[in-house]
Amino acid sequence: MTPCRCGSLLRKVTPQTFANGTRHLREECSACGAFQRYAPQHKAGKPRPAPLVDGAKLLAEFEDSLLARIGGDPAITHDAAGALGDHLLAVADELRRRFGIAEGVA
C-alpha cells in the first residue's frame, strides 16, 4: 500500500454508486481525509474490498522497528535516543486513542 501524502497508511473505505449505477469503494486517508482511489470491481460487478491492516499490530511493529533503529544508530546520542523514543510512544498512544486501536497484539 502506498502511503498518503501526509504519510499515513490508515484508510477509510466507503461504498459509492456512480451516476451510471456502477458500485465502487471510495478509499480515503483516515488521518487527513484525502481521496486515495476507487477500488476495482469484481467481474460480477461487486466492489472488491480493500485489504485491511490490523492497527494494533501495525503500531506495535512500527514502534519496535523505529526504537531499534534509533537505539542502534551511533549518530544519535543516548539522551537524544531517549527523547525520540518518548515522543514516538506519545504519538503512538495518541493515534491509538484517536482511531480506537487497542494496545498490544493479541
Tell me the per-residue pLDDT of 13-29, one tens digit each, with 9 for 90 and over.
888 888 888 888 889 99
Mean pLDDT of 25-40: 87
Residue whose grid cell is 539522551: 79
One-letter amino acid for residue 22 of the chain? T
CA distance linking residue 80 with residue 5, whole number of Å: 27
Q: What percent of the chain has pLDDT over 70?
A: 84
User: 106: exposed, middle or buried (C-beta count within 10 Å: 0-12, 13-18, 19+)?
Assistant: exposed
Mean pLDDT of 50-70: 82
CB atoms within 10 A of CB 31: 17
